[in-house]
A = this chain, B = another copy of it.
């Protein structure tokens, strides 16, 4: 054990003094890369472990630049070792050396260790050697980024976001910031959040926007506006549903990737892009965050297999009806596919992603393109079902024929509300289609994370809006 007595009372634990040029400030990931061996460096981060040995003190310091921490070795005695605790912030300078230990390639032989911010381990809710349940960690949204798993998740989420933007940019899509506050209700129904200024109660009747305003449930219709001037557009941002559910599958605020393609004539044009995004993003994330992803795959079963299968809704109904499984929900033609059905279909196909196309016309919203097939009557819509998650993407060709669209809007009494939408068909209408991909579900799928609340920095759901 180290002698506690020989420490000074100052927070600067400065022991071996010798002249050196100013140390190079490195991130932990840069230090670990090994390209700075022999350099005098400075790193800053948080202590992940403290191991005093007979002669030496070992620390592991992490700064969020990688899952790995840098091993620090202090070959000197020090008092006030009590400040060097799990969770404290430190600044360390010293010599970056090859490590004699196989477990890490390099280590930092410290000259100087400065505790920048203390951390009382008795008060800190995460304990150094305990493996906390995700449910426990979730109670501390302001601290959970300090756990290995969640900091890995956040790096992966950041890289996956970059991967998706990069895919679209490379393929000539224009990014559109579709609005968050909207006076449209894309699905024609659904559980909306209303928006109004926080004001004294007597003022509540006066509308800020003059019209009722809601949080968006989809940027699709706004993207369709843009698909009247650009051949390819996309949006990637937050969407909202006021669903009264605390299930592991629902969030009130979640991220959607939505794309709209002009001059698109077939569902295959859409499924090709969906598959491309899935594959290219997943390859990118695996390449950029191999170590972080491995942490998840150590504990969970990943589902990032990228081969896929396709079937029509009618074929799917046949498969369900031929199955020996007893479903809770009906499997007749015309009924929507439920979670249990989706799960069965994915399993039936060997646990790979499955495209289901051509859904009953009556199940789909007004904008879905009429296949004009009889007697079935389907719409050119497609869902992508994936293992563990169920529906990952949903898309359709959009009804570009003015007369058909107008008739359908009239049937549901929406022709006035969507007069602007009909304008898009009045003036230079084009065949087009698009889809949405649930970004959190995508992360769940490739990482095998069970609860959607664990793949978003600050989950919002029924009865919970922490911070």
Q: Residues on A close to B: CB < 8 A?
A: 27, 44-47, 63-65, 87-89, 91, 116-120, 123-124, 141-143, 145-146, 151, 154-155, 157-158, 161-162, 165, 169, 172, 174-184, 191-198, 208-215, 221-222, 225-226, 228-231, 237-238, 240, 242, 244, 252-253, 255, 262-263, 400, 420-421, 423-431, 456-458, 460, 462-467
Q: Enumerate chain B residues within 8 angstroms of A462, measured Cβ to Cβ.
A: 208-209
Q: Does A420 contact B252, Cβ atoms closer than 8 Å?
A: no
A427 to B142, CA, bound (A): 11
Q: Most B CB atoms within 10 A — which of A253, A428, A465?
A: A428
Specify the chain B residue showing the minimal Cβ separation from A230. B64
Q: Does A229 contact B195, Cβ atoms closer than 8 Å?
A: no
Specify the chain B residue showing the minimal Cβ separation from A440. B177
Q: Most B CB atoms within 10 A — which of A91, A424, A430, A456?
A: A430
Q: Does B177 contact A456, Cβ atoms closer than 8 Å?
A: yes
Q: Does B240 contact A238, Cβ atoms closer than 8 Å?
A: no
Q: Enumerate chain B residues within 8 angstroms of A400, measured Cβ to Cβ.
A: 117
A65 to B233, CA, bound (A): 11
Q: Enumerate chain B residues within 8 angstroms of A467, measured Cβ to Cβ.
A: 179, 182-184, 221-222, 225, 420
Q: Does A194 contact B198, Cβ atoms closer than 8 Å?
A: yes
Specify the chain B residue showing the minimal Cβ separation from A467. B184
Q: Does B428 contact A209, Cβ atoms closer than 8 Å?
A: no
Number of copies: 2
| Shortest CB distance A138–B (Å) | 14
| Shortest CB distance A145–B (Å) | 4
Specify the chain B residue showing the minimal Cβ separation from A244. B208
| Shortest CB distance A185–B (Å) | 9
Q: Enumerate chain B residues within 8 angstroms of A195, measured Cβ to Cβ.
A: 193-195, 215
| Shortest CB distance A273–B (Å) | 15
A sample of 17 inter-chain contacts (CB < 8 A) reads: A44-B263, A116-B429, A117-B427, A117-B429, A118-B429, A124-B427, A142-B421, A146-B229, A177-B255, A180-B180, A180-B215, A182-B465, A195-B215, A210-B463, A213-B460, A222-B457, A222-B458
Q: Does B169 contact A65, Cβ atoms closer than 8 Å?
A: no
Q: Does A253 contact B179, Cβ atoms closer than 8 Å?
A: yes
Q: Does B141 contact A426, Cβ atoms closer than 8 Å?
A: no
A421 to B467, CA, bound (A): 9
Q: Does B252 contact A208, Cβ atoms closer than 8 Å?
A: yes
Q: Given A428-B46, A430-B116, answer yes or no on A155-B174 (Cβ-Cβ < 8 Å).
A: yes
| Shortest CB distance A328–B (Å) | 27
A368 to B341, CA, bound (A): 54
Q: Does A181 contact B240, Cβ atoms closer than 8 Å?
A: yes
| Shortest CB distance A266–B (Å) | 14
| Shortest CB distance A128–B (Å) | 13
Which of B87, B91, B228 has a CB less than 8 Å from the CB of A427? B87
Q: What are the 5 closest A-B residue pairs judged by CB atoms, nearest first?
A: A64-B230, A117-B429, A197-B242, A209-B465, A145-B229
Specify the chain B residue showing the minimal Cβ separation from A234. B158
Q: Does A27 contact B175, Cβ atoms closer than 8 Å?
A: no
